[in-house]
Structures are given as structure tokens and as C-alpha cells.
Amino acid sequence: MVRQVKRKKVYSPRTQGAVELMLAENVSKLGEQGDIVRVKPGFARNYLLPQGLATIATEENKKAVEEHRAALVELNKKRKAAAKKLAEEVGKYSVTLDANANSEGHLYGSILAADISKALIEAGYSIQPEHIFLEGPLKELGMYTVKLKLHEGVTSEVKVWIVPVSSK
């Protein structure tokens, strides 16, 4: 006769006592906004819920997040299309900046991204300084090709001419 022994259930924190939450904010080492995560009840009760970092993952909340994500995707597509159009237009344009320089062509100051942005805005292109990537300040007269990053995956280049200030 074989005797069967009842085994004691082993506690596993991954399956038993876990709470399913939806993150309202990005939480490092846990997930990003809108993710559904399973955490221990104490972590949910003492940290995530009181801090407003998560909410209970109900069907209504899940549906609202999916609708919000779809709206963000549409908005992102529109912004990317506008950035592509702007990149195409700016790529055909060249900026001329006047600067004080010595007889050897070295500038007394330097040309920064803000200076290039200001010239582009005056020309009718909405390029902010954070879109312009310089390897360093421009300190000599001449022609430079400056890289622009207008959106994720949308880049362009603009020619920048630095000429000496003409004495009038």
C-alpha cells in the first residue's frame, strides 16, 4: 500500500498575494506610465498608491489608457509629419551671421546654438536651440554645416556662414 503525503504549499511572492496595478507615472525599475504591473500588497499600499504613482487596474482604467495611447500615437504622427516638412524647408536655407573677428579670421566671441536659432526664427523657421547640435562653439569665420534634430528620426542640416561685420 502506497501512502500519499500532502505537500505543504510553498509561498511564492510572484503568484500569491500580488496586487495588479496600473502605473500613473514612470517608476524606475518597475515600469512606465500605463504599464500593468504585479507588486506585493505592502509596496502598493504603503508607497505606490499614497504617492499617486499607481491606481488599481480596473477595466475602465485599462480602456482609458489604451484610448490615451492611441491619441498620443496620432499626435506623434502629426508632429513627425510637420517636422519632416520643416526639415525639408530648412535644408534648402542657409544662415548668414555677422561676427567681429580679427585679421586672421578668429572671432572675438563665439557663435552658439542660440545665435543660429535666433537667425532661423527671424527667417520664419521655428527651430529652437535644443534642436541644433554643434560639436562646440563656432570660433572662426567660414562656412559650417550644422546638424538639426527636429523630432525622433527626423534630422536635417543647415549651412551657416559666419562673415565679418561689415563697416558701414
All domains of the chain in start order, with CATH = 19-78 (3.40.5.10), 85-164 (3.10.430.100)
Range 136-160 average pLDDT:
91
Would you say 107 and 101 are in contact if contact means Cβ atoms under 8 Å apart?
yes
The confidence score (pLDDT) of residue 18 equals 85
pLDDT over 60 at 9, yes or no: no
pLDDT over 90 at 162, yes or no: yes
Nearest-angstrom CA–CA distance, 151 and 148: 9
The confidence score (pLDDT) of residue 4 equals 62
pLDDT over 60 at 1, yes or no: no
pLDDT over 80 at 17, yes or no: no
Q: What is the pLDDT of residues 79-122, one digit of tens each?
A: 999 999 999 999 899 999 999 999 898 999 899 999 999 999 99
The confidence score (pLDDT) of residue 63 equals 87
The confidence score (pLDDT) of residue 25 equals 86
Non-local CB neighbours of 128 within 8 Å, separated by 6+ positions: 117
DSSP-based three-state secondary structure for 158: strand
Would you say 123 and 58 are in contact if contact means Cβ atoms under 8 Å apart?
no
pLDDT over 70 at 154, yes or no: yes
The confidence score (pLDDT) of residue 158 equals 93
Q: What is the pLDDT of residues 21-78, one digit of tens each?
A: 988 888 888 988 888 899 999 999 999 999 999 988 888 888 888 888 889 889 999 9
The confidence score (pLDDT) of residue 66 equals 84
The confidence score (pLDDT) of residue 161 equals 94
